[in-house]
Structure 1
Amino acid sequence: MNYKSIKDPIEITYTVERSKFIGNIAKTNSVDEAQKFIKQISQMYNNATHNCWAYKVHEGGREIANYSDNNEPSGTAGKPIYGVIEKFGLLNVTIVVTRYFGGVKLGIRGLIDAYSKTAEDVVKASKVVTYEKVFIYEAKCDYSNFSFIQNLMQKQNNFKIIKQNFSDEVYFIFEVLEDNKEDVLSLIKNKVYKLNLVGNSEGTL
C-alpha cells in the first residue's frame, strides 16, 4: 500500500493576538502510537490552555480517524486540524496544536483559522513524502557483476544497497520498492548466484 505521510517529527510556533500556538506532528502507524504522541505533547505542555489534536491511521485493514477540541468551542480546533490532514491526503499521522491564551479572544472564525494555519505550517515544515512497501534481499556475486549492479543502481535509482561485504566474493543486502521489484530482479538475477528475500518494511528510498 502506497500512502502519503510526513517525513520527520517537527515543532513550529505561530502567534496571533498574543495567543501562542505550538504545532507538533509525527508519523504514527497505529491508534496506540497516535495516543502516545498526544499524551507526550500534552504532558510536555501540561500548563497550556489547550492541547488540541487530530490523527488518521491505517490499522486492521481500515482507516481510523479521531480529533479533539480539548475544551475549545466545538468545531474550532480538532476538526480544522483534521481538515489539514485531509487537505494534504495524509495517513498514519498525528498533529497536536497547543495553545497558550494571550488574553484576547479570537472568536470562532479566528480560532478555526489559527488552528488550521498552525497545522498546515507544521505539515509543510515536516515535508510530505510517499511511503511504499520495501523488500529487502541478500545476494552474492563476483566483483565484475557487482560493478554492473552498482552502475545499474546509480543509473536507475530504484533500489539501494544498504550493506556490503567484500572477500573472495561480494555479499550485499539491498532494498527495492514494491513497484520496482520485478524489474530490478529480472535485471540482476543472472548477475548473482545467491538471492534471498530476508524481509520487508516501508520506506521512501
Structure 2
Amino acid sequence: MVEIYFSILTPKETTIKIKRSEFIGNVKKVNTEEEAKEFIKEISSKYRNATHNCWAYKVNGNKFNYSDDGEPSGTAGKPIFGIIEKHDLTNIAIVVTRYFGGVKLGVRGLIDAYSQCAEETIINSKIGKYIDLKIYKVKTDYSKHAEIERLLKRLNGWKIVNQEFAADVSFEIAIEEDKENEILKILKNKGHIEYLRTEEVGIK
C-alpha cells in the first residue's frame, strides 16, 4: 500500500491584525521532531522581540507537541494544533508570533485569533498530498514537447519537477504508480526516456 499524507506545499508567511495585536504565522513542512524544533527556534529568534512565539507541530502521523509560550494555558498552542488536526496534516510545524497591541483579547479571543492565523497561514501555503513518485527524465524536441504537454493536461497523477529549454527540451516528471503505464504510453516514441529514482513529492 502506498503511503500518502497531507502537508503544505509552498510556505507563506501570513499576518493578521486583531484589536491592535499583530499575529504573524509561519509554517514549514518537516520530516522529524528535530527539524520542527529547529524551525521553531529559527522563527522565535527572528521575532525575538515579540510578545509571544506560540507553536505546534506534528510529525510521522502521531508525534506532536505545542506551546502557549506565556499566553494563558490552552489559548494558543492547542488551538494551533487543532488547525493541524482539522486539516488532517502531518510533517508540519507552525509558529504564530504575537506583538501585543495593548488591548486584551480574553480567553475566547485568543483562541480564535491563534486559530485564525494558523488556518490562514496553512491555506495561503497551499495543502498538497505527499507520496512516493517515480521520477523519469525525458529529452525531446520542441514540437513533440508541445504535444506531450497537450496530452498530459488531460490526466492527473503527475508533476513536472525540473525543466530545461536549450537546443532540445529536457524535463523530469514525477508519476504516481497507478498512472505510470498511462503516462509512459504518452511519452513513448516522443523522445529519450530514462528512469531516475523514486522520491517523495508533494502534489496538489
Structure 2 residue corresponding to 1:56, chosen from 47, 55, 58: 58
User: 1:183: Cα distance to partner?
Assistant: 3.6
Instruction: Assess, with a 3 A threshold, how the Cα gap between structure 1 residues 99 and 174 changes in structure 2: closer, same or farther.
Output: closer
Structure 1 unaligned segments of length 5 or more: list them: none
1:26 maps to which residue? 28
Q: Secondary structure at the match of 2:101?
A: coil
2:44 maps to which residue? 42
Instruction: Assess, with a 3 A threshold, how the Cα gap between structure 1 residues 166 and 89 changes in structure 2: closer, same or farther.
Output: same
Decide which structure has the larger Cα Rg and report it.
Answer: 1
Kindly provide the CA deviation profile for residues 80-111 of structure 1, in whole angstroms up to 9, marking residues without a partner as x.
00000111111221110111122222221111
RMSD after superposition: 3.1
1:11 maps to which residue? 13
Instruction: Assess, with a 3 A threshold, how the Cα gap between structure 1 residues 24 and 191 changes in structure 2: closer, same or farther.
Output: same
Structure 2 unaligned segments of length 5 or more: list them: none
Distance in 2, matches of 1:104 and 1:172, equals: 54
What's the % identity of the aligned pairs?
A: 49
1:69-84 correspondence runs (5 A): 69-84=68-83
TM-score norm. by structure 1 comes to 0.79
Contact 1:80/1:112 (<8 A) preserved: yes
Contact 2:152/2:183 (<8 A) preserved: no
Distance in 1, matches of 2:166 and 2:13, equals: 43
Kindly provide the CA deviation profile for residues 41-71 of structure 1, in whole angstroms up to 9, marking residues without a partner as x.
100110111100001122xxx5311111112
Instruction: Assess, with a 3 A threshold, how the Cα gap between structure 1 residues 19 and 178 changes in structure 2: closer, same or farther.
Output: same
Task: Letter of the 1:200 partner, please give it.
Answer: T
Task: Letter of the 2:198 partner, please give it.
Answer: N
Task: Letter of the 1:184 partner, please give it.
Answer: I
Contact 1:49/1:100 (<8 A) preserved: yes
Distance in 1, matches of 2:159 and 2:101, equals: 50
Instruction: Assess, with a 3 A threshold, how the Cα gap between structure 1 residues 165 and 13 changes in structure 2: closer, same or farther.
Output: closer
User: 1:152: Cα distance to partner?
Assistant: 4.0
Name the count of aligned residue pairs: 200
1:162-177 correspondence runs (5 A): 162=162, 173-177=172-176
2:197 maps to which residue? 199
